[in-house]
Chains A and B, each alone.
Chain A
Amino acid sequence: MTTVSSASPALTGNDPANRLYGPLPDVSGEAGYAEDHPARVGFFTDTSVCIGCKACEVACKEWNTLPMDDADGNRDAMGLSGMSYDNTGMLGANSWRHVAFVEQSRAVDLPMPTVGLPGAGAEGAGRHGESQAPGDAHATSHGGNADGGLTAQASVLNVEALSEFDPQTGHSADREIRWLMSSDVCKHCTHAACLDVCPTGALFRTEFGTVVVQQDICNGCGYCVPACPYGVIDQRKDDGRVFKCTMCYDRLTDGLQPACATACPTQSIQFGDLDELQARADARLATLKEQGVETARLYGRDEDDGVGGAGAFFLLLDEPEVYGLPPDPIVTTRDLPSMWKHAVGGAVMVVGVALSAILGSRKGLRR
């Protein structure tokens, strides 16, 4: 298990320029662009106003002429995921935007007295909200009962404030329902594992600070695929090469915004200079907190995180893993210096064993 103390080579002074890990104020500059390169751009995806319309997915597919695929990334296949309104399923070689859809419910303390509320126990609640029975049973199966949930949650947030302003939350009997929708995308990491491990140089850092694959260079080694801590980049099986979001590099060079941000009707996807977006996100978070949305948090905003901060970051309303995002991603190359040391140790051991095996054997026994 990775311990906290080994968290950063930057801390041990092995990586003073933060080339592998840690905050990096000028990614493009570090990649070798001249002083006058454009400012770093990014996406701020505010999931609190996402309506799950998937306009971003469609715009992305259209602009980048991505082939059709099903929820498991099988090309030219049509299929329903069978789990929710999300039939895109995941980011992959043919889906560079993916709108996650999660329906959640919880027991709620309504102002109007209803049968079976506090004290009546799980049984009463279950009888009452017939259609919500699975949810109840689930809450119970998770080690709490409806009561426990109630007391816990009442102390945490102001339910009334939340339902007042939040269009994604609704009531049904004694249950409160909400839909979480979030348009996921490549994070264009400050320390991008995909880029670090690419042996051909096909993946590169653009002048905008984004990460892009050069399709005429990629030889399909597939190393970037398991290297990405977010599971973004993937290989097209029939083609052999890997594909992922380019943040519409072609549009950026022509002064246009990425297709998804252009198409988003609610400004859930905001495109712009990264520092500006970060300021906007901080303000939005403060507003939401003020309105009582205790669970709102920024994801990928912190440049002290495991990937040095993301170029595409999010405002989430629940834990990252609920949306299929890793809770604490760390770029794998952080540990690479230590890995190389151990590999050299192993190699030296091989030579040492071979030497001593030979020197320790008599050779006079020949026929």
Chain B
Amino acid sequence: MTEGLATPGAGWRRADGPPAQAREKKRRRGGRRGGARDGDPTVEEAEFTSYYGRPIIKPPVWKTPDVPLYLFLGGAAGTSAVLGAIADVTGRPALTRAAHYTAGGSALASVAWLIHDLGRPARFLHMLRVIKPTSPLSVGSYILAPFSALAAGTAGIQLLDAFPGLQKFGLRRIAGWFPGLRKVAGTASAVFGGPMTTYTAVLLANTAVPSWHEPYKELPFVFAGSGMAAGGGICMAFTPVAEAGPARKMAVAGAAVELAAMHKVEHDHGIVSEPYHLGRAGTLMKAAKACTAGGAGLTVVAGRTRAGAVVSGALLAAGSLLTRFGVFDAGMASARDPKYTVVPQRERLEARNAQAAEGEARAVTR
């Protein structure tokens, strides 16, 4: 029991008594049916005080599926742009094609989802009004805008090259430039591809949402791994197996990074890790892990067959998608329950007070 640590002093208690507080507890635990069966690591319900069980911070107003989809698409686009550019330079036409199409398509779709999520979509250009390093969304806009333009452009050139029928309006005359243009645009998009994959982790972490903020060192690696698993997986599925070796390798490495980093997020942060195990977020995370691990395993075993590549690519993409939904959900849950705001802050405060007292004691003895 954390009595004394989390309860206010002088014996005052809220007077509306246990029934109301039991109600609060029940409401807070709404989604945790079977929590204990889930292997829930935190056994004891922490004691803490709150204002009628109401949340302290406001849960994000970001919508599902808009934002999780944006995170997923951004990751897949960023990593496949990097893969595509290197494949292009080293002369792997089939892999280049698949990677550029994946990057361009996902980039455009991610922009659409992001704009759709705005409260005032018509004002999306306001994102580029200022540039603020303190705002991950501002920095992200300056990553997303050039990235999506370049990735879509690269894919467009690829498309024109592949289907000469599309070369209208005198485009045929400059058709010889296409491979060169594609290399330049593709490489430029690849420069933004890495940041595109990981900035979204900072976007989530730089909030007061406990389960996003606390693991801020691991989240970028979760997102990098998840992006590589998705990007590699999708490229692998759309590339002839003979040329898909790099995609397979990236996918497997990404899956490993994702699983390892996610393990830290789920276990290293005490009470703030809890939402990743409970309720819908817990279910999503478990499904994500199964898909990612299964997809990676299948890639190793059967990735060199057509069917194996398609199935494992799909599994890896699904795993990445589920991870984004799971992380999003866990954050929302941690914002809605005042426990995750109060208890860590109380502990921090106690630790600081204890340290101060210790320092004082030392000063006195000296």
Contact = CB atoms under 8 A, between A and B. Distances in A.
Chains A and B come from one and the same complex? yes
Interface of A: 1-4, 7, 20, 81, 83-84, 89-90, 92, 100, 102-107, 132-135, 137-139, 141-144, 149-150, 152-153, 156-157, 177-178, 193, 196-202, 217-223, 225-235, 239-242, 294-295, 318-319, 321-329, 332-333, 335-336, 338-340, 342-351, 353-363, 365-367
B171 interface: no
A199 B138 contact: yes
A327 B130 contact: no
B249 interface: yes
A366 B243 contact: yes
Contact of A231 (B20, B57, B344): B57
Contact of A106 (B13, B137, B194): B13
Nearest to A184: B51
Interface string B233-276: 00000001011011101100110010000000000011010000
Contact of A363 (B9, B49, B92): B92
Given A1-B214, A199-B141, A321-B49, A107 B92 contact: no
Nearest to B216: A339
A31 B16 CA distance: 46
B202 A336 contact: yes
A233 to B, nearest CB: 7
B127 A353 contact: no
Given A134-B17, A150-B11, A319-B9, 7 more contacts: A7-B352, A199-B141, A219-B126, A327-B345, A351-B194, A358-B90, A358-B246
A355 B86 CA distance: 7
Contacts of B3: 142-144
B29 interface: no
A358 B118 contact: no
Contacts of A294: 9-10
B194 A239 contact: no
10 contacts: A3-B351, A135-B15, A219-B118, A219-B119, A222-B60, A324-B54, A326-B345, A347-B198, A350-B198, A358-B86
B56 interface: yes
Nearest to B250: A357
A367 B132 CA distance: 50
A323 B87 CA distance: 59
B134 A333 contact: yes
A346 B16 contact: no
Contacts of A242: 119
B345 A329 contact: yes
B56 A219 contact: no
Contacts of B199: 343
Nearest to A348: B194
Interface in B132-173: 132-138, 140-141
A221 B193 CA distance: 23
Given A135-B17, A227-B208, A360-B249, A196 B214 contact: no
